[in-house]
Structures are given as structure tokens and as C-alpha cells.
Amino acid sequence: MSTEQKIVPTAPSQNLLNDKWDVVLSNALIKTGLGFGGGVLLSVLVFKRRAFPVWLGIGFGLGRGYSEGDSIFRSNHGLRTTKA
């Protein structure tokens, strides 16, 4: 007996949405990490190891990731458009 798995093809729109989510989440993670790193560096070098630059950097990174993610989901890239 062989255990065969049935591969169910997904709809192209679902693939497009999954690809967009992958880009948005990885972009937000990278921006947040860069904000964290910049905040830590600024905290150590300038602000005598206070915590607010780290939180500020994380906030800026999350905000930038959200903003770019919103623009990715609002774009028509990859969608078929027809003129009536």
C-alpha cells in the first residue's frame, strides 16, 4: 500500500494573496528588526542606555512595514483589468 497525497491546486487569486502576505510579513519583520537595531545603537551611543530609542525604533519599523504592506495590498499588480 502506498500513501499518496492528493495535491489540490489552489486558485490563482489565492496564490496571489499568499504571495502578497509573504512579502508584507517579511518586509514588516525586516523593517522592525532594522528599527530595533537602530534604536539599540542610538540608545547605547547617545542616550546612556535608555529604553525609549529602542521602542521608538520598533514603532517606526512597524509603522513603515504597515504602510508599505497597505500599499502592496492596494496595488493592482498581478491583477487582470479590463476596460469596459
Reported as a pLDDT band with limits 50, 70 and 90, residue 47 is confident
b (16+ CB within 10 A) / e for 40-62: bebbeeeeeeeeebbeebbebbe
Q: 68-80, pLDDT tens digit by residue?
A: 999 988 887 766 6
Alpha-carbon torsion 36, 37, 40, 45, what sign?
Answer: negative
Residues 8-35 have pLDDT tens digits of 666 677 777 788 888 889 999 999 999 9
Model pLDDT, residue 83: 73
Which has more confidence, 63 or 80? Answer: 63
